[in-house]
Amino acid sequence: MEEETKIYQKDGVEAYVKHQVEHENEPFAPGAAFPFVKAVEAVNEQLRNLFPDSDELFDIVLVTNNHAQVGVRLINSINHYGIAAARIFSPNTGITVSQRQLRVAFDGDAVLFSDESEQIVKKHGLDKFFEHEQTNENKPLAMGPLKGFLESLGKLQKKFYIKGQRLTCPIRTYLVTARSAASSGARALKTLRSWGLETDEALFLAGAPKGPLLQKIRPHIFFDDQMFHVEGAKEMGTIAAHVPYGVSQKHREMEERKERVME
């Protein structure tokens, strides 16, 4: 809905609603999240074929604050494509992603895990962080906000594994973290193992930018709590979602307040 949003911003809500009503029989153009939803639907299709009586499928929910007059066009668009479409900000450059395999990438700390380790970094620096992680290597991290989502993906993956389709599973998950494999990666992997979870790939970047690697992985969506990594992913063509959780958000808000004061 980029073009429609421009009308709203330029001419106001009445012109926006009028435009939507006049074009209500025309489906919206696919947005940035469209490939993600297509891949989810492809997974559902395969699950239905393998497990006809199963009710464990992805539910796709459209949430919008649009005017009721726009509802007709939204419904028509849903019927046109057969799926619900939602608007998110498009990356600066586009990359082609799979429509038959759903790929989801997660950051670790403050996304899959709690922010306890990031608190050490913020308070005491990287050396203390490495020392803390090695000391607590066998102590699982507390769960983060998206642990449940990875868990749900894992349950669906196991359905395909039971049918001998591990290598052709239409769901693939990635851990993409700034942690170092040598100094702090073991605790992340052991935490996932303690939960009975795994990711198909675990990538430890030791502080390197995530955007170039995500460009190679081509996930449908990448979750991270750091806007630096979200912006970096977006610049390289990956649809990224900012997770507003953890100590990093407080530091970000403080920096923003300082900038406003200086202005």
**Using an 8 Å Cβ cutoff, are 239 and 88 in contact?**
yes
Locate the DSSP E strands across the chain: 102-106, 171-177, 201-204, 221-224, 240-242
10 burial (CB, 10 Å; 0-12 / 13-18 / 19+) is: exposed
Which residues are the active-site residues? Answer: 107
From the list 54, 50, 199, 94, the residue with the least C-alpha distance to 188 is 199
From the list 103, 99, 87, the residue with the least C-alpha distance to 30 is 87
**Using an 8 Å Cβ cutoff, are 4 and 20 in contact?**
yes
**DSSP code, position 28:** P
**Pure H helices in 107-226:** 116-124, 126-135, 147-162, 185-194, 211-217
How many other β-carbons are positioned within 10 Å of the β-carbon of residue 204? 21
